[in-house]
């Protein structure tokens, strides 16, 4: 404790400075004004909104989120308050002077909707960056854009010339080395500030043997997995993209972070910042200060004073 001031968790996502490298994953406790205010007052180093669409959406029928000892499954269906709310919240956030950036997640239902949303957020004061979601697995009949490499190029060709704020993309997990290489080659052609790895592992199925039923209602129980189930996949994606992307594109780690050690592992794999989803749902806002303290303790024990002392320095056998 007495040395904690000598260990900094500050970081940069492109030109955006964060006082602490930990913040929420989009979707976790970031939909309403109350959620976003609580994040601004928490130990998080940034506030990221729920993925937004032009219109308000109710989302899928409940139950649509379920936790197990090893993680979570969700099929929320993009419930959100619509673009005007997240654009206006930017002014509220700025007025709080929390010293942390406000990032808006964009998840239009079509290329045209993404263009409209990014055009709108460009003009809204107080937005520090945009995370374009290419990986929602929960819309019946809509494949995840991130698995259609041609469509990814169409979307980026359309939105990159528009974006005034730093723009990043949230990717689905990939499971093949060739896919890492192909996607990185595409992303390297665009002026992206960051890439977030990973969204949930799509279309898992958690069932209850006792009741002999699925545990969530939409899509016959199929949904996106988070938590312990996904950490090795998340680390693989973070490290693969860290190695393959231009160094100006920061990789943001997301997946299976519930302790300071998990955050340390993401940063060792190359992450410039780390998002917390399932564990934020479980533990609520105190999660940020706890994991920050645990991460600082590990860094102190190892003699590290800043993230750059170990970021990306994973060693091979
Ligand atoms: C939802 C889930 C996601 O994984 C995502 O990226 C966007 C939206 C949802 O179901 O609301």
Q: Is 38 exposed, middle or buried (CB count within 10 Å of its CB: 0-12, 13-18, 19+)? A: middle
Write down the residue that tokens 């040395």 correspond to: 3
Give the Cα separation of 146 and 112 in Å (integer): 17
CB 75 within 8 A of CB 216: yes
Closest C-alpha to ligand 1, atom 4: 136
Best residue among 28, 35, 136, 217 to mutate for probing ligand 1's pocket (most ligand atoms within 8 Å of CB) is: 136
Instruction: Please name the helix (run of DSSP H) or strand (run of DSSP E) that holds residue 290, with its range, or none.
Output: helix 286-302
120, two tokens? 């709108």
- pLDDT bracket for residue 235 (50, 70, 90): very high
Q: pLDDT tens for residues 273-303?
A: 999 999 999 999 999 999 999 999 999 999 9
**Dmax (CA) of the chain:** 55
Q: pLDDT tens for residues 175-227?
A: 999 999 999 999 999 999 999 999 999 999 999 999 999 999 999 999 999 99
pTM: 0.97
The matching CATH number, chosen from 3.20.20.70, 3.40.50.800, 3.40.50.1820, 2.60.40.150, for 4-61+79-201+228-309 is: 3.20.20.70
Cis peptide bond prior to 57, omega within 30° of 0:
no
Q: pLDDT tens for residues 119-135?
A: 999 999 999 999 999 99
**DSSP string computed for 156-169:** HHHHTTT--S-EEE
Tell me the catalytic residues: 136
Ligand 1 centroid to residue 260 C-alpha, Å: 25
Atom of ligand 1 nearest to the CA of 202: 4
């Amino acid at each position: 404790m007495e040395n904690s001031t000598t260990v900094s968790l500050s970081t940069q996502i492109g030109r955006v400075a964060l006082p602490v490298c930990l913040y929420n994953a989009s979707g976790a406790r970031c939909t309403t004004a109350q959620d976003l205010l609580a994040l601004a007052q928490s130990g998080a180093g940034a506030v990221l909104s729920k993925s937004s669409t032009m219109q308000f959406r109710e989302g899928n029928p409940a139950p649509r989120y379920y936790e197990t000892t090893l993680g979570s499954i969700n099929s929320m269906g993009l419930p959100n308050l619509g673009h005007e709310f997240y654009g206006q919240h930017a002014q509220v956030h700025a007025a709080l002077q929390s010293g942390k950036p406000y990032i808006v997640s964009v998840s239009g239902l079509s290329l045209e909707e993404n263009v409209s949303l990014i055009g709108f957020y460009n003009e809204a004061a107080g937005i520090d960056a945009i995370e374009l979601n290419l990986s929602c697995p929960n819309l019946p009949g809509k494949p995840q854009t991130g698995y259609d490499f041609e469509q990814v190029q169409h979307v980026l060709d359309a939105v990159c010339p528009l974006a005034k704020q730093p723009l990043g993309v949230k990717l689905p997990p990939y499971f093949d080395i060739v896919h890492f290489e192909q996607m990185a080659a595409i992303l390297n052609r665009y002026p992206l500030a960051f890439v977030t790895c990973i969204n949930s592992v799509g279309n898992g199925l958690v069932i209850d043997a006792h009741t002999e039923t699925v545990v969530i209602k939409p899509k016959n129980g199929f949904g996106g997995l988070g938590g312990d189930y996904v950490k090795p996949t998340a680390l693989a994606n973070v490290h693969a993209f860290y190695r393959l992307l231009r160094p100006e594109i920061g990789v943001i780690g997301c997946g299976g972070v519930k302790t300071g050690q998990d955050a340390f592992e993401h940063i060792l794999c190359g992450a410039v910042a780390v998002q917390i989803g399932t564990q934020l749902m479980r533990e609520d806002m105190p999660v940020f200060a706890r994991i920050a303290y645990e991460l600082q303790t590990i860094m102190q024990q190892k003699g590290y004073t800043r993230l750059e002392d170990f970021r990306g320095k994973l060693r091979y056998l």
